[in-house]
Structure 1
């Protein structure tokens, strides 16, 4: 791949510094910097996002490590991982020094509430992108599976781990039946 370690570090550091709201918000940024620059295809990024989501730990850090490995191997994974955790470490260290001042500051509270709305819009956009990616598979079962997962979690409080395990088993069985 064409990614240098410096560029890999810079992109991941920038993405980690300026995205708020968790791993799903980083996916559009990863697309902008890694897909649009030819390091990955959009399908590869969505596959890596799926793996990052199902792995323990923060999705954003997992995704950065996976993108780094895809772009530059194990050294790229290390560089990306360090770049992804460094901004949070620095920001949280500084905030912890002045916690009481931030805790009661109405301006900080207002900024955080505004960021919540922006994050919600970005996540909705990502869900729409993922839906269209599933739609290209032309598989009815894959298209309705997210709906059942949502209903199971939102209305029946089924733990996401069980949903993930059942969905994986379902897809594997469905693929075997389709290939038989």
Structure 2
């Protein structure tokens, strides 16, 4: 596919996903996976999980970070810029319009009920993302990855440790493991 066509398709896809994603960055992850892995086959599922892990461990919104790493993977810096623009335009436009009418919507019963219903749907989509990512780890059948996943869940949910520390610790464990594996391969 020509780079111009790829960039246009990346822009339209990312714009569409961003325009119809409600509930935060984790919701966009499953939609990006469906579009870029399942539909277009631009990225393998395992690689998508790696890219999302990078996006999640970087500062900033996961939707924008995810778009950056996917766009960069597909078309370099111009792909990253295209994906960023397509990701931030819809919320910018929608929030600009909504902010003008905020006072009118603030106490509207119908709008508040609609938002409550959307929260339930978003919870289901986030659960789907967790299921997909967890299933990917379990498919690898790597004991250390399973221990990291279970341990991270435990320290976040039971002991309420800040997610930042969990991400950093998990990254360090992965780095040490890779370093050890490389040393063993050279020996």
Q: TM (normalized to structure 1)?
A: 0.92
Residue matched to 2:84: 81
Moved more, 166-175 or 31-40: 166-175
Pick from 13, 16, 21: which aligns with 2:15? 13
Pick from 21, 26, 29: which aligns with 1:27? 29
Distance in 2 between residues matched to 1:39 and 1:83, nearest whole Å = 18
Pick from 68, 73, 98: which aligns with 2:71? 68
Aligned length: 180
Moved more, 13-22 or 150-159: 150-159
Residue matched to 2:155: 152
Residue 154 (structure 2) pairs with residue 127 (structure 1): no
Following TM superposition, by how much is the alpha carbon of 1:118 offset from its aligned partner in structure 2, in angstroms? Answer: 0.9
Residue 125 (structure 2) pairs with residue 100 (structure 1): no
Residue matched to 1:58: 61
RMSD, aligned CA: 1.6
Q: TM (normalized to structure 2)?
A: 0.89
Following TM superposition, by how much is the alpha carbon of 1:147 offset from its aligned partner in structure 2, in angstroms? Answer: 2.1
Following TM superposition, by how much is the alpha carbon of 1:128 offset from its aligned partner in structure 2, in angstroms? Answer: 1.3
For residues 48-81 of structure 1, give each alpha carbon's deviation from its aligned partner in whole angstroms, at most 9, with x where no partner exists.
Answer: 1111100111001111121111111111110110
Distance in 2 between residues matched to 1:119 and 1:76, nearest whole Å = 28
Gapped runs of 5+ residues in structure 1? Answer: none
